[in-house]
Structure 1
Amino acid sequence: MRGKYLNIVQQRRVFTLTSLAIALSTASAWSWAQDTIEEGQSSSSSQLQTTAADEVIQLETVVVTARRRAEAEQNVPAPITVIKGKQLEEAKIYQVQDLQQQLPNFTSQFIHARQSSVAVRGIGNNTANEGLEGSVGIYLDNVYLGRPGQAVFDLLDIEQVDLLRGPQGTLFGKNTTAGVLNITSKQPVFYQEGNVEISAGERGYKQLKGTWNQPLSDTVAVRLSGYGTHDDGWLENTYNGKDLNEIDRYGLRGQLLFQPSDELSLRVIAEHNREDSSTGSLVPYSFAPWNPTGNPASYLPVGVTGSNATTFADRATLLGAKNIARNPYDYKVDFDAEQQAKIDQSALSAELNWQLNGYKLTSITAWRDWNFSPKNDLDFSRLAGITGGFKVEQDQFSQEIRLASPTGGAVDYVVGAYYFYQNIDSRNTYQNIDSRNTYQTGDSALALTTAYPNNATLEGLGKSKTHSYAAFGQSTWHVNEQFDLTTGLRYTSEKKTGEVNQSEVNPAAYAALSPLFQSYHSGELSRRDNSIAGLITASYQFNPNILGFATYSTGEKSGGFNINSVATPAAILGNDSLKIEPEKAQNFELGLKTAWLDNRIYANINAFITKLKDYQAVTNTAIGNQYIGLLTNVGDLTSKGIEVDFKAQATRNLSLNFNAAYTEATFDNGTAPTPFEVFNGPGGTNDSGYGKGYRDIKGNRVNGAPRWTANVTLQHQHDVLANSKHYSLINYGWRSETYADVNNSEYSKIPSYGVLNLTTGVRIPHGDNEIDLSLWAKNALDKHYFLGLVNSGNGMYAGSAAQPRTIGASLRYNF
């Protein structure tokens, strides 16, 4: 149930939202009526192709490079979904976390740039740890992004976004055990074009973006794009009256295309993104029973005489905190410490394509850096408790070379080699800024946490370095005109080093309290993993409109080390507790891709079963009566289900996209920390207490894996007066409930939710140029929901509150 504040906000917005809905429905209804009256008129829809003779209505042919060569999406025997850049623009989607409202069986867990992850088929949602790599590979302009947070910027000047579901290890490499999110920006063209767009909306939302493309000669063209985005934020901090989760970021991308002939091209991209925001401000979400550190005789269940059981919220309130245990859906917090997330990243890449007698040689050289610096109120209250975070610096370099054979023969193939280097420094500091500007925990730290000492500094440095080498090949044998057999292999050899250097607590007198506060140096840890990823796909073209396929594929996600360097588990459990084994996937797939009514309808369906061994996850467990983060292989799992992807060009002016998935993702075996609501032990002993110890997780649902997801998008456009064009878009995305924790604690449950987005606009010719004016409502029903939860220890989960309703307008000029 929402609070009074939310009801007031809803009342203030109801007239604006109603007006927008009436305008959208009225304009759309009038335009749809014109379909019948003006059947002879032509349309310039991106999803409509016509001929002068008979005005053929059909869906656009979408080209993908899933097999490292350009092919029509419907001809590729694999589950792929594509969103074109124009659709993103009309839907006002400019963040990766919003893509789950368009893509099937795709989930984004977003807190801030460091704590973000994406999942496919329920695999890959985990909180941050620099030793934990993604299960879904994210590629930008054919360059692998080593950290998911590198994709947390505005999606600018995008050509299309492809989602490849299932292991993609053969051609895309490591860390694609669940799939690949492939983002492609528009490249320079040899004619002048550009656009400028300004948007404004609620909460002081402002966005300015633009693109300018200019040929410099017959062989050289440049393209420049940039954006700046601001949002005041949507969390009210009742401590000081300010808003949190504010957004301030900008980015620039410059491209140069050198194309001296039809056979040779060189594309160079340089980009920079910067953010200084308060994103990542978490809302106290739920409070389970908790036995604070004290006399073991008091470690008893709630209600038992002599029990010290309480909740973190109750304890904080007794110490003077206010408003900590209120309804999380009110989107309010009460923090005394500053919240900040600063991100700075730059990139440079060069892609060379050379046609050689039908062969295509491709070389991609890329460098990226990513720097993250936070400030977090880690006690979630106005008390002088703990603040801090992880300051991360990452550099990466990659080189890929591949050769694609000519097509048209009995066999075509792609072969190549790949190198990837990554260096990460992660400095972890727990601190409080007092009146003397020294950095330390506050006066209430010990009383609040019963673990961390007052007025102390805790810090450490973790390091990780990766050298990865791979050779790969994939071929397709066209057995006959209908039957193809595709096989592929990739061999990867990877060396990874890690190091944890935990500093002794200051003042040093506190070191005697626990090994977690003592100096600990792991020394340099090293591992080498050699792996083979494979694929075999049999596909059969039953007729020109029906393609069937069956696939068996494997993949592997890198092993590594937990390099968190404050309260490192190695201080108690030794270096072995820092090591994680690779995550290995086997996938079976059956699918049909069909086209109907002269390509006016695409209806695709596939069934899958993915078996993962040694699934990597971050857990929070009690060690030495203190909750600490533990990166580990929690067990094996199975994800199985059915996906449907439907597209239709219903009329010349109306199109429909619908996708849905049912996924049953559960653990086959494994162990995880005890759920917070479960009391461990007989009571009255050191190991007794809520959430202590471990439990079998066999049968548990995989964290962050909804059973059901569904998205529908309806687009309409029609010519109106003076050759103008009216357009409208309705998008609704829904997903069922999930658990945020592998132990399926009831306190980690995120309820199901749906999000409605509306857009209506008109494009007006202006000479050879065009004016585009639109009104829009994102999250039009003002659904308050959470993109993810973090286990904060002490029986508490904190949540990342998604953006509430935003109503706004955009003015765009295309030239």
Structure 2
Amino acid sequence: MFTRSLLLTSAAGAALFAVPVFAAEAPDQGGAVAPDQEAQARDGRGEVIIVTARRRQEAAQAVPLAISVVKADSIESTGNFNVVKLQQLAPTLQVYTSNPRNTSVNIRGLGVPFGLTSDGFEQGVGIYVDDVYNSRVAAATFDFLDVNQVEVLRGPQGTLYGKNTTAGAINITTNQPTFEFEGRAEVTAGNLKYKQAKAAISGPLSDTIAARLAVATTTRRGTLYNVKTGRWINEQDNLGVRGQLLFKPNEDLSITLSGDYSKQDPYGFGTAFVRVGTTQRALNRQYDALVAAVNAANPGRNYAVPSRNVYDRLTDIDSTLQAGNIIGGASARVKWDVGPGTLTSITAWRFWDWKPQNDRDFTGLSIVSKSQNPSQQDQYSQEFRYNYESDKIDFVVGLFGFKQRIDTQGTEQQGSDASRWSLTNAQGGNDPSILNGLTATNTQYLKSTSAALYGQLSYKLTDALTIQPGVRLNYDKKSGFYQRVVTTGAGVVLDCTPPFVTNSPRAAQCGVYQPQLTTPSASKWNLSYDFNVNYKFARDVLGYATYAKSFKTLGINQNGLPLNSATNLPDLTTSTVKPESVNHFEVGLKTQFWDRRATFNLSAFYTEIKNFQATVNGGQFGTVRGYLANAEKVRTQGLEADFKIRANERFTAYTNVAYTDAKYKKFTNAPCPPELSGGTLQAANATPDYSQPGVPGALSPRACDISGQDLPGVSKWAFSYGAEVNAPISLLSKDGQAYLGVDGNYRSHWNSNASPSIYTKVEGYALTNFRAGVRGDGFDVFGWVRNAFDVKYIELLQVAPGNVGLIAGTPGDQRTWGGTIKFSF
């Protein structure tokens, strides 16, 4: 009932208002702009925003879908130099990261399963750079390099963007080579030893060949101080380069060759102590008691965290940290005007090399002494696309092929404090040698193949009414290999075949790490389709309604399987994960008024997913990285409004608001949150009892029904805003401007655990940024302050393994300030 009311109310409200987008001007990538748009640009009225959201060049206000488009200057002036920071400008976008690999990008609460990453699933938000698909979020965490604009397409985009884009797509377009000589350079410096430099140059090599080269580097001191090593961690140390070569022998044919390389080598990433929340474990087996026991067993040690206030920005994690991330690739894009349409071919190769070392116990104690899972990825893709445009009919048809391989070599090792931490005295907790040096060595690979045939048609029934059906037939095949070999501290290979002698060292060791060998393999066909009806009520008022049936293909678990609570052996039934099935409804209006100086867009959506792929964590060290499981049903619904005004040359402003209500509609067999975990398990056939959360020694449910609870990582309310005012000045006898700008964003509270917990609630926060400077022909000099009011906020909370009650996290950036100088010619 709420959903129907929501959609009807939105449609009625949209009829009263005019709807638009927060956006920018796109590069020339083929296609034609309507004559009225050209006239608009000439007569100095509001901006013409050109996008390629439907794989052709058109005005953003003519595209019947919810889309946010962010200009390069908006990205740069607000300090949003990668995908992680982009959520400050697009409130329906949620990005959460503990390191580049473990990065979640969601739109409207959907996309990547929230939590630690597994290679065996697909992301629901497709990330494209110059038409090239990036298969992993981690492989798209590079700095924005010579970017022209970013389009955030909200809602399923499966018929054109494919690869299971059930939540939306991020379409990044870089600046292209030009046949006129041009260049730009930019230098920024700030506190925390922040330094950033960017440069790009473009021009002709001959009458038919043009080239472009861009480079960027970013460094910054870390934001957490590690008292154990005496240095700051979670720093930035990025280098990127991109080269492009354009061959254009005539107006009908263009060939663009591109290559890019990005290297990130920061010292990070680590966490700090946030809080302790009691679980159902025996009280003497929880965090504070365990720390006391470790100290008692080591006279004179007297361990304590350096601070229990996370905003002191102190940590003492003792494992080696590393976050080496190398990303790159090459592509060839051919565009050929053939008859009434354009044929496009995109051939691409991408690679990703991840070299991490982490602290998996989140403490300065030697519990997990080593944790590293280096990965290497290669992906190849080929897409053929044909675009046709006429007065009545526009269509796009295409073929897409994709092949990927990921290899991972993991090592996790227990330390000298592990026995005391993880074992009772009866199990040998007072004998460090039982777990010290216990090592799990993982070898795994994933092979993934995908192919698709797709098409989308726009048919104008009248000058005002257009229908737009789309369809995509997709095939996916995945095969994996995972082997974990466990060796004791003495180097003996551990055999965990039952039976066990109760409380024997072998039983204790097998309770921490289980040898495993799995070779999952599965394939699936699916059909995605959508139907859009849009009506032009007036020249600048467009209404639309969309239904989409979409899928996210099957997944396989690649990071080890959970243990069966009855046998303590790997649960092989969790090797594969069912595909998601998505039903999506959306209505909206896009409008401009006040002589197109003002834009106001409104959209309402309802999305229901069956067999939602969720990342869960059983609390065991052996599966601490999380595994995939299906929630029976998830629902997300909401409203989005975007307003932008360009009153005149002296004042511009925007605000974007999103209300997102995302819930587990039915998830009856979810892992329990920490406050309902850690105790002796309730009887297998008993009705789960949730009445004693956080009571030490209470019986713990084997699983929890979290139906009706909010999805993790989603703020119900989010908004962003910005404004700039300028005044004309004379600079060295030339006209210029002095300007003052402000921008900010707000997010309401959200939960940072797959099964929402009272201990992982992240409070809402609002950030405000200022900038002021002068600019003129070819230069821009400004100072900036970000998080100007030094708001204290949390970016991510994590539950430590073992049900000991420890919650660690990452505080958001404190107030930062600096200055930027830009030159262009």
Go from structure 1 to structure 2 and tell me whether the alpha carbon gap of 1:54 and 1:357 turns closer, same or farther (over 3 Å shift): closer
Structure 2 residue aligned with 1:544: 539
Whether 2:772 is the aligned partner of 1:760: answer yes
Structure 1 residue aligned with 2:401: 419
SS at match of 2:74: helix
Distance 1:473 1:567 in 2: 41
SS at match of 2:363: coil
1:328-339 → structure 2 map (5 Å cutoff) = 328-339=310-321
- Give CA deviations for 1:388-416 in whole Å, capped at 9, x if unaligned: 122111110000001111222x2221111
Matched-pair contact (CA < 8 Å) for 2:448–2:476: yes
Whether 2:306 is the aligned partner of 1:341: answer no
Q: CA deviation at 1:690?
A: 7.4
SS at match of 2:319: coil
SS at match of 1:677: helix
Matched-pair contact (CA < 8 Å) for 1:322–1:381: no
Structure 1 residue aligned with 2:364: 382
- Give CA deviations for 1:704-751 in whole Å, capped at 9, x if unaligned: 111000000112333212312223321110010001123210111111
1:138-157 → structure 2 map (5 Å cutoff) = 138-157=127-146
Distance 2:438 2:170 in 1: 43
Identify unmatched segments of 5+ residues in structure 2: 1-23, 27-35, 297-301, 424-428, 496-505, 687-696
Q: CA deviation at 1:464?
A: 0.9
Q: Please tell me the residue identity of whatever aligns with 1:667.
A: Y
Matched-pair contact (CA < 8 Å) for 1:529–1:559: yes
Normalising by structure 1, report the TM-score. 0.86
SS at match of 1:720: strand
Whether 2:637 is the aligned partner of 1:650: answer no
SS at match of 2:159: helix
1:8-157 → structure 2 map (5 Å cutoff) = 58-124=45-111, 126-127=114-115, 128-157=117-146
Q: How many residues align?
A: 743
Q: Of 800, 809, 814, which residue of structure 2 is paired with 1:792?
A: 800
Q: CA deviation at 1:571?
A: 7.7
Matched-pair contact (CA < 8 Å) for 1:734–1:754: yes
Q: CA deviation at 1:643?
A: 0.4
Go from structure 1 to structure 2 and tell me whether the alpha carbon gap of 1:243 and 1:628 turns closer, same or farther (over 3 Å shift): closer
Q: CA deviation at 1:456?
A: 2.2
Matched-pair contact (CA < 8 Å) for 1:602–1:646: yes
- Give CA deviations for 1:66-87 in whole Å, capped at 9, x if unaligned: 1111110000110011001122
Distance 1:314 1:612 in 2: 43
Structure 2 residue aligned with 1:276: 265
SS at match of 1:447: helix
Matched-pair contact (CA < 8 Å) for 1:703–1:742: yes
Structure 1 residue aligned with 2:659: 662
Q: CA deviation at 1:359?
A: 0.7
- Give CA deviations for 1:459-479 in whole Å, capped at 9, x if unaligned: 111211111010001101100
Structure 2 residue aligned with 1:712: 721
Matched-pair contact (CA < 8 Å) for 1:235–1:243: yes
Q: Please tell me the residue identity of whatever aligns with 1:678.
A: L
Structure 1 residue aligned with 2:789: 781
Q: CA deviation at 1:606?
A: 0.7
Q: CA deviation at 1:689?
A: 5.3
Matched-pair contact (CA < 8 Å) for 2:41–2:47: no
Higher deviation after alignment, 317-326 or 639-648? 317-326
Q: CA deviation at 1:696?
A: 0.5
Q: Please tell me the residue identity of whatever aligns with 1:508.
A: V
Distance 1:99 1:186 in 2: 18
Structure 2 residue aligned with 1:530: 525
Q: Please tell me the residue identity of whatever aligns with 1:369.
A: F
Higher deviation after alignment, 674-683 or 446-455? 674-683
Matched-pair contact (CA < 8 Å) for 2:563–2:571: no
Q: Of 697, 704, 712, which residue of structure 1 is paired with 2:706?
A: 697
- Give CA deviations for 1:601-637 in whole Å, capped at 9, x if unaligned: 1111011000011111211114699867332113311
Q: Please tell me the residue identity of whatever aligns with 1:86.
A: D
Matched-pair contact (CA < 8 Å) for 1:170–1:535: yes
Distance 2:41 2:93 in 1: 39
Q: Please tell me the residue identity of whatever aligns with 1:535.
A: D
- Give CA deviations for 1:644-663 in whole Å, capped at 9, x if unaligned: 01111022221111110111
Q: Of 187, 192, 201, which residue of structure 2 is paired with 1:203?
A: 192
Distance 1:468 1:258 in 2: 30
Q: Please tell me the residue identity of whatever aligns with 1:721.
A: S
Distance 1:585 1:236 in 2: 44
Structure 1 residue aligned with 2:151: 162
Distance 2:615 2:598 in 1: 43
SS at match of 1:703: coil
Matched-pair contact (CA < 8 Å) for 2:681–2:702: no
Identify unmatched segments of 5+ residues in structure 1: 1-44, 293-298, 432-440
Q: CA deviation at 1:56?
A: 5.1
Q: Of 596, 599, 611, which residue of structure 1 is paired with 2:596?
A: 599
Q: Of 378, 391, 407, which residue of structure 1 is paired with 2:374?
A: 391
Structure 2 residue aligned with 1:235: 224
Q: Please tell me the residue identity of whatever aligns with 1:266.
A: I
Whether 2:492 is the aligned partner of 1:508: answer yes
Normalising by structure 2, report the TM-score. 0.85
Matched-pair contact (CA < 8 Å) for 1:90–1:729: no
Q: CA deviation at 1:120?
A: 0.6
The percentage of aligned residue pairs carrying the same residue is 32
Structure 1 residue aligned with 2:502: none
Go from structure 1 to structure 2 and tell me whether the alpha carbon gap of 1:340 and 1:136 turns closer, same or farther (over 3 Å shift): same
1:460-499 → structure 2 map (5 Å cutoff) = 460-499=442-481
- Give CA deviations for 1:331-371 in whole Å, capped at 9, x if unaligned: 22112222110011221011111111221101000000001
Q: CA deviation at 1:286?
A: 3.1
Go from structure 1 to structure 2 and tell me whether the alpha carbon gap of 1:469 and 1:336 turns closer, same or farther (over 3 Å shift): same
Q: Of 749, 752, 756, which residue of structure 2 is paired with 1:744?
A: 756
SS at match of 1:203: coil
Matched-pair contact (CA < 8 Å) for 2:47–2:597: no
Go from structure 1 to structure 2 and tell me whether the alpha carbon gap of 1:193 and 1:756 turns closer, same or farther (over 3 Å shift): same
Q: CA deviation at 1:516?
A: 5.8
SS at match of 1:86: helix
Structure 1 residue aligned with 2:14: none
Distance 2:764 2:590 in 1: 30
- Give CA deviations for 1:736-771 in whole Å, capped at 9, x if unaligned: 000112321011111101111211121244xxxx23
The Cα RMSD (Å) is 2.8
Distance 1:756 1:365 in 2: 42
Q: Please tell me the residue identity of whatever aligns with 2:807.
A: Y
Whether 2:555 is the aligned partner of 1:564: answer no
Structure 2 residue aligned with 1:434: none
SS at match of 2:87: helix
Matched-pair contact (CA < 8 Å) for 1:324–1:381: no
Q: Please tell me the residue identity of whatever aligns with 2:758.
A: E
Matched-pair contact (CA < 8 Å) for 1:659–1:711: yes
Distance 2:335 2:315 in 1: 53
Distance 1:389 1:427 in 2: 8
Matched-pair contact (CA < 8 Å) for 1:290–1:690: no
Distance 1:308 1:253 in 2: 53
1:176-215 → structure 2 map (5 Å cutoff) = 176-215=165-204
- Give CA deviations for 1:200-229 in whole Å, capped at 9, x if unaligned: 111111111110112111211100001111
SS at match of 1:724: strand
Q: CA deviation at 1:449?
A: 3.1
Q: Please tell me the residue identity of whatever aligns with 1:760.
A: A
Matched-pair contact (CA < 8 Å) for 1:133–1:558: yes
Matched-pair contact (CA < 8 Å) for 1:603–1:645: yes
Structure 1 residue aligned with 2:745: 733
- Give CA deviations for 1:90-116 in whole Å, capped at 9, x if unaligned: 222212111111113111112211010
Structure 1 residue aligned with 2:251: 262
Q: Of 388, 410, 419, which residue of structure 2 is paired with 1:446?
A: 419
Q: Please tell me the residue identity of whatever aligns with 1:415.
A: V
Q: Please tell me the residue identity of whatever aligns with 1:792.
A: A
Q: CA deviation at 1:678?
A: 2.7
Distance 2:290 2:181 in 1: 60
Go from structure 1 to structure 2 and tell me whether the alpha carbon gap of 1:692 and 1:194 turns closer, same or farther (over 3 Å shift): farther
Q: Please tell me the residue identity of whatever aligns with 1:182.
A: N
